Structure 1
Amino acid sequence: MMKYYVKENLSQIADGDEDFLKILAQTFLEEIPPDLEAMAEAIKNENRQLAYQFAHKMKPNIEMFGINVLKDITSIEAWSKTSKNKSVILPNMENILFTLNHVFEALKEDFQL
């Protein structure tokens, strides 16, 4: 099974503390899904400012978990500063949704959450 996040990144941050790792995973699962949904809704409604805010808010967690969607997040941030149609950013949003949904499942499995 392909891993969509890098557990070694978390282990390094947590200094091997398994309880802390589980807390990191739990916090990610509590915070990111509603932010992801809100960002998708903001893009759907072409609310650029809100899309930017959620993309920017999620970026540190995405980096910490080693999730390979930073380019997509950065593209959404950049799009929010333009007048381009939302269609240019939809493939990025789809990739983020696809990848993060796999991350959510992997974290639940890996940490029995």
Structure 2
Amino acid sequence: MSKGYSLKNVHELSGGDDEFIAVLVQTFLEEIPPDLDSMVQAVDSNNPEMAYQYAHKMKPNLQLFDIELLTQIKQIEAWSKTKKAKEEIKPILDHIVTTVNAAIEELKADFA
């Protein structure tokens, strides 16, 4: 079974420095869950501007760990610029939450 994340970009950035890799993973595990929760709350409370901010903030970290959600994050950002109902973006948001939470659990298991 393939992982929900990849350390390829992390290794390139770190130059193989295991301590730096551990710091990057720890930072991801500390910052992404509250940002993800805040993005969900922003969508649930129909606050597209806040949803955009959290989606945009999470994007570089998701790309660093090669979590394949760039298209969905861009959809959240695009939704925030429209007047569409939150129900239209919920399936995409649910996919992001499921994918990110799976990657978080895998990172925790791999770096425990």
Give the TM-score normalised by structure 1: 0.95
Q: How far 1:2 sits from its partner (Å)?
A: 2.5
Runs of 4+ in 1 over 3 A off after TM superposition: none
- Distance in 1, matches of 2:106 and 2:2, equals 10
Aligned runs of 1:52-63 on 2, under 5 Å? 52-63=52-63
Match of 1:16 in 2: 16
Q: After superposition, where does 1:1-113 map in structure 2 within 5 Å?
A: 1-112=1-112
Offset at residue 9 of structure 1 (A): 1.6
Aligned equivalents of 1:91, 1:10: Cα separation in 2: 29
TM-score when normalising by structure 2: 0.96
The answer for unaligned runs of 5 or more in structure 1 is none
| Cα drift, residue 110 of structure 1 | 1.4
Within 2, Cα distance between the matches of 1:25 and 1:102? 14
Of all paired residues, the percent bearing the same amino acid is 49
3-state secondary structure, aligned to 2:81: coil
Distance (Å, rounded) in 2 between the aligned partners of 1:59 and 1:11? 18
- Structure 2 CA distance, aligned partners of 1:109 and 1:21? 15
Instruction: For 1:71 and 1:91, locate their aligned partners in 2 and report how far apart those are by CA, in whole Å.
Output: 13
Provide the C-alpha distance between the structure 1 equivalents of 2:71 and 2:90, rounded to a whole number of angstroms: 13
Unaligned runs of 5+ residues in structure 2 are none
Q: Cα RMSD (Å) of the superposition? A: 0.8
